[in-house]
A and B are shown apart, each in its own frame.
Chain A
Amino acid sequence: MMKSFLQYLGIEPERYQMAWISGSEGQKFADVMTHVVDEVKKVGPNRKLREEHE
């Protein structure tokens, strides 16, 4: 729902991802993280919902 809502607000859905990972699933955690990073790299730098600090 959060993903759909953020998408509705025009924010790239790739930036919000969820996965169920058990404490014992170390490999899965690593895979998911790699996946998240890859996806976010694909969308590029975030311009939205971003505070400007000089």
Chain B
Amino acid sequence: MKVLPLDKLREALNIMANDAEVYVPMLRDDISGYFQWADNPADELALDLLNTYLSPKNVVIPQTEPMYKFKTSKQDVEITEVQVREGARIIFGIKACDLKALENLDMAFLTMGFEDEYYKARRQDLTIIAQACYKPGPACFCEGMGADRINPAADVLIHELENQDYAWEAKTSRGEELTAKIAALMEERDVTLPQAEPQSRKVDMTGVSEKLAEMFEHPVWDDLSSRCMNCGICTYVCPSCYCFDIQVSNRGEAGNRFRCWDSCMYREYTMMAGGHNPRDYKKERYRNRFLHKLQFFNERYGANLCTGCGRCVILCPNGVNIIEVIEKVKEVKLDA
């Protein structure tokens, strides 16, 4: 099997970065995320981490993104669309959970009537180098959400070997092309792939979506939501959450319309200009978040909007835990 030695990794990334935006897990001030590779000496590669606190969704949906610019003079307005930079993008080291989340984003942005042009521009020439995940962490539950963590569908699949070199498998023609560019750095070697350790968190989603459909007005939501403080951490670190806001930035006679991530946890999210807010209380917002993840998205697209990456479980400051929510929902006894 082809092997990319760890000490050749930076060089490989540099070659890839010659004609593509390359996004790599990095650590900055103990905050890990997928950042664009520029071979800064200060950039600490974080491929040894299980995953990153910040999800890789910024590769396809930047948190803030200009849509079009405008110029006004008296009554006239002129607008110019902001074009997303065309060209190749590469995401390196993405795990099965986040890859499955990317499939969710594809469904949300590219199907059901309209295609989102900004998303499409970033997504269409994206090469995916996924890393097999042999050693899950205590918050991981991707298997329960249907991910194949050892063999996710990607252009290239890499496996971290015992000596930290990467076994390298090109899976698609796009992957072959990329591999050819860095072939000189690779060695052909017999390798033993690591043993997969079991995932300790088991989640069985059978019947959850259907049961939730009967539970909209169940009192369990009062209890579950009581600890939530309605901040947006869970939605912003989630690799699947995709809701956005459209806003304007205006400096006198010119400005731009941009979109930015938004969170269903915020009161302002559904607040209408006249003052009516269909989700005025935290319980309603909390419920909508979990129903969107586990029921509504399922009904609309046939998948859970949760892929078991565990980020929200790790980062919620008040201990809101989607696995506990699923278990509580299963425990609820519904009247026949």
Tell me the bound Cα distance from A53 to B71 in angstroms: 12
A51, B254: Cα distance in complex, Å: 13
CA distance A43 to B249 in the complex (A): 27
The number of A-B residue pairs with CB atoms under 8 Å apart is 7
A30 to B256 CA separation, bound complex (whole angstroms): 36
Q: Which residue of A is nearest B255, CB measured?
A: A53
In terms of DSSP, what is the predominant structure of the interface of chain A?
Answer: loop
**Would you call the interface of chain B mostly helix, strand, loop, or mixed?**
strand
- Residues of A contacting B85 in the complex (Cβ-Cβ under 8 angstroms): none
Chain B interface size range: under 10
Bound-complex Cα distance A34 to B13 (A): 57
Q: Which residues of A contact B251 (CB under 8 A)?
A: 51, 53
- The residue on B at minimum CB distance from A53 is B251
- Expressed in whole angstroms, the minimum distance between the Cβ of A28 and any Cβ of chain B is 30
Interface string of A14-46 (1 = CB under 8 A from B): 000000000000000000000000000000000
Please count how many residues in chain A sit with their CB below 8 Å of the partner chain's CB atoms. 2
A3 to chain B, nearest CB (A): 25
Assembled-state Cα–Cα distance A53/B256 (Å): 9
User: Chain B contacts of A51 at CB under 8 A?
Assistant: 249, 251
CB distance from B60 to the nearest CB of A (A): 24
Taken together as a complex, chains A and B put the C-alpha atoms of A53 and B249 apart, in Å, by: 10
**What B residues does A53 contact at CB under 8 A?**
249, 251, 254-256
Interface string of B42-56 (1 = CB under 8 A from A): 000000000000000
Bound complex: CA A53 to CA B69 (Å): 10
The distance in angstroms between the C-alpha atoms of A23 and B212, with both chains bound, is 63
Interface string of B233-253 (1 = CB under 8 A from A): 000000000000000010100
Question: B14-32: contact bitstring with A at CB < 8 Å (1 yes, 0 no)?
Answer: 0000000000000000000
Say how far B27's CB is from chain A's closest CB, in angstroms: 27
Closest Cβ–Cβ distance, residue B329 to chain A (whole Å): 45
A51 to B249, CA, bound (A): 10
Q: For window 246-275 of chain B, which residues contact chain A by CB distance below 8 Å?
A: 249, 251, 254-256
Measured between alpha carbons, how far is A51 from B250 in the docked complex, in Å? 11
User: What's the nearest-Cβ distance from chain B to residue A47, in Å?
Assistant: 17
CB distance from B155 to the nearest CB of A (A): 35
Nearest chain-A residue to B254 (Cβ)?
A: A53
Instruction: Write the nearest CB–CB distance from B325 to chain A, whole angstroms.
Output: 40
Please measure, in the bound complex, the distance between the C-alpha atom of A50 and the C-alpha atom of B251, giving whole angstroms.
Answer: 12
Query: A36 CB to closest chain B CB, in angstroms?
Result: 21
B207 CB → nearest A CB, Å: 50
Bound Cα distance A51, B251 (Å): 10
- B249 neighbours in A (Cβ, 8 Å): 51, 53
A10 to chain B: closest CB distance in Å? 20
By beta carbon, the residue of chain A nearest B252 is A53
Give CA–CA (A51, B258) in the complex, Å.
Answer: 14
Query: In the complex, what residues of A have CB within 8 A of residue B255's CB?
Result: 53
Interface residues of A (CB under 8 A from B): 51, 53
7 A–B contacts, CB within 8 A, in A order: A51-B249, A51-B251, A53-B249, A53-B251, A53-B254, A53-B255, A53-B256
Q: Which 7 A-B pairs have the closest CB atoms?
A: A53-B251, A53-B254, A53-B255, A51-B249, A51-B251, A53-B256, A53-B249
